[in-house]
Structure 1
Amino acid sequence: MNTEPRGQRAVRRGALAAVAAAALVLLFGFAAPAQADDNPSTIANGLASSRLYVTQDARGQVTIDQNAVLASLNGSPDADIRAVVVRNGVGQQAMGRMLVGVKDRVDKGDTYVAITADGTRMTGISKMFDSGEINRLIARSDPGSGNAQARLTAFAGHAEQQADAKARSGTISGFVTLSVVVLIMAGAFGAFLVAGKRRREREARQMAELKKGVEEDVILLGEDIAALDLDVMDHGLDPDTRRDYERAMNSYDDAKTATDRAARPTDMEDVTTALENGRYYMTATRARLAGEEVPQRRAPCFFNPQHGPSVKDVTWAPPGGVARSVPACDADAQRVLKGQDPDVRLVPYGDGRRPYYDAGPAYAPYAGGYYASYGGLDLLSGMMIGTMLGSMMSGGFGGGYADAGAMSGFGGDGGDVGGGWDFGGGDFGGGF
């Protein structure tokens, strides 16, 4: 029978339990293995300052000269490789996932490879090489050697050669592209210069033709004035007649001056405005000399403004065109009413002559000046339907002449297209 006091027994049992617990802690605490270093964070820390990292589990399984491998990796700066040696038995999928986690943490380097300690398995990821290129590089790294050091050294050499080749190809492509762009720009600029030269030559030719035609109108008015041969100093000359004749001569002088100064088709509007004034005042002068009533001032004859003011409107249609009402002098009105062709004003055009309303845009200001006081565009657009000038007016002709010519630029935004870390595993012939 145990005569030990109850309190002493309790103390003894507590002490034994404490000793047993301490023994268990010591036993399992010292027996627990150290934390494995094959996780991405640990490997990334090792690769932050070195291009090669051998995991703890692989160190007892591999025999490599790390300095020699590092020399190969450091000697391949264009490929920019980071290498990890893992324990034997690690699968391709696991190595690939590990490399993704490592490169995200290291955040430098273009190519990452992992190889088992015995060199039998190797995989890689890269933003420089696609999966096919990585597979070929791994396949060329002597997979049958069973030597991790030899495979890493061979991979580094082949990868550097491939990177250099891609760089040279990119440089050549860049030069080729630049050369093509330069040639295109030179061609476009040359075409622009040629087009500009041709346009200037065309405009100069049109201006010469226009000026020749306008000078014919001016000379004809001058001859008409000279043929009348009135002596404005004659005191017996009717004052109103003298005034209209002087106005006709002044208009002729204005037309000559404007013609001499004209450098562009738009300048011809002032010439024909002066000619229209001169023609009317000559008509008024003749009527006064004949003792007749001065006719109402009307728009010039549409068919030939040299004929002076119109006397009536007639319905006329150009060949193949629609009929419209146009002002006409008495002679042309009679011809149209009889079904005959009117006496149309033909102007210089190329090697021949054609109606002024079909002689091109240079004659737009010419026509505009004659009809400026009679509705201008509104009147002309109705009369010119179906003619070359009519086509201009429907497109926005406003009595002026605008130079045409603009160079299109080619233009457009470009963006870099990056690779996206392709996987390769040459030993098993597929991408990750």
Structure 2
Amino acid sequence: MTGSELISAAAAADLLGVRRQTLYAYVSRGVLARVPGTDSNGHRVSMFDRAAVQALVERHRRPRSGVFELHIDTAVTDLDPAGRLLYRGRDACDLATTHSFEDVAEILWQSGLSGPWPTTADGIAPRVAQVCPESTSPAGRVRVALALLAADEDDDGRGAPLPDQVCAAARTAILAAANSLTSGATPAPEQSVAEIVATALVPDPKPEDVTLINAALVLLADHELATSTVAARAAASTHAGPYVTLLTGAAAMGGQLHGRAAAQAVPLVEATLEVGAAAALDQCDGVPPGFGHTVYTDADPRADCLFDLLGQVRPDLTEPIDDLCLQVRRRHSLAPNVDLAMAALTIGLPLRLGGAEAIFVLARLAGMTAHALEELQHRLRFRPRAVYTGPAEQPSHGD
């Protein structure tokens, strides 16, 4: 790096418009390199190549054509592209096997609380059952529950809700949405969210099924700035109420490319079990569903964790799924993502039709809440500008 101008970490962070913690996160992820140096007192410090920092600034300033790039400082989730997911500095895969979904939600919210949530008779589940036809998907019922809560939300005009109010609303929303997966019956007060979901989505669920559902809820609770999370943060920045914020995020999960992605991988897993991985892949056009990720450069840690847990309950699925993953790596150089794991879970338990999407939406309500809490510190900051590509102004012609 001879001839390059070196600047301090403080100067580099200032140029990038980020905090020092974010700067070092760039270093750990290989986005930016640091150079060992010494300050005026002889102490060892990190220095940065000004040209490299400026290039990163320009890259953030001029996004690729047709791509909306967004960078937000967050203390909620650390997503390492190399294959690690941390919630508030704690490994999500470890939490999935040691903590309840409720406790992980409280960790994400930094509420300081733990233990089961009281099951309240909020009256939402019977109303959902009343307005939804039998054909309504489980995830559709979740969104209807949130819409009913949002419709009843009290807008007192006092500005942003308080953090405790947001957390209380989130607990109510998650429980109401989970209860709405059933036929309107109120679950026993001692049931956990995972037990409520398992009762609604798995025929005759066993304790190990509940454990799997809980792990899936934990692993899907947050994933940094997913599309739905950005939508929820944008709503929260307008000081929308907690239920409206969660409904906004849940609505964004209704697309085939987000919340419904696991359903697209189910036929591939079914075909693999019926005719083998090679024949199943021969029927696929292009990249098979459930493989590759826009952020992870290789393995999705959530998928690995769920496959390990599923193998303990359904060991007969391990060999065919492993063969499928090996075949895809050979053909496409791609690793499985959590959508494939949820597809395998759908078949392995089995889940009701649409159950994987409902678990995904319910789980992500916890993460959306954490991001909404962060967004309370800001006000209307989501105002990107458009690059106009339409026709030029047309001259006026008089009669």
Structure 1 and Structure 2 fold alike (TM over 0.5)? no
TM-score by length of structure 1 reads 0.17
Q: Which structure is richer in relative contact order (CA contacts within 8 A, separation 6 or more)?
A: 2
Of structures 1 and 2, the larger Rg is shown by: 1
